[in-house]
Amino acid sequence: MDGLLVTRKGDWRNAMHKAQWEMTLNDYAKPLHDMPVADIVIGDVKDCLIVHWSVTISKAIPLM
């Protein structure tokens, strides 16, 4: 995941945008951290997000 953040470093619009990405990947996607990328399926991603969507839909919309 750190590699993704480094790779996308030039894409951030500002410091807040960078912080939002970091929070999303660190917190929302935490259950995926130990999984090989090749093993992650849409259901795994949905399981991570559904918890947050039911509580904070306005924060989840930019992820779609």
pLDDT at residue 41, as a whole number:
96
Mean pLDDT of the region 30-37? 91
pLDDT at residue 2, as a whole number:
76
Percentage of residues of the chain with pLDDT beyond 90: 25
pLDDT at residue 63, as a whole number:
56
pLDDT at residue 17, as a whole number:
87
Kindly list the distances between the CA atom of residue 23 and the CA atoms of 28, 39, 42, 62, in Å, as whole numbers in the listed order.
Answer: 7, 23, 20, 13
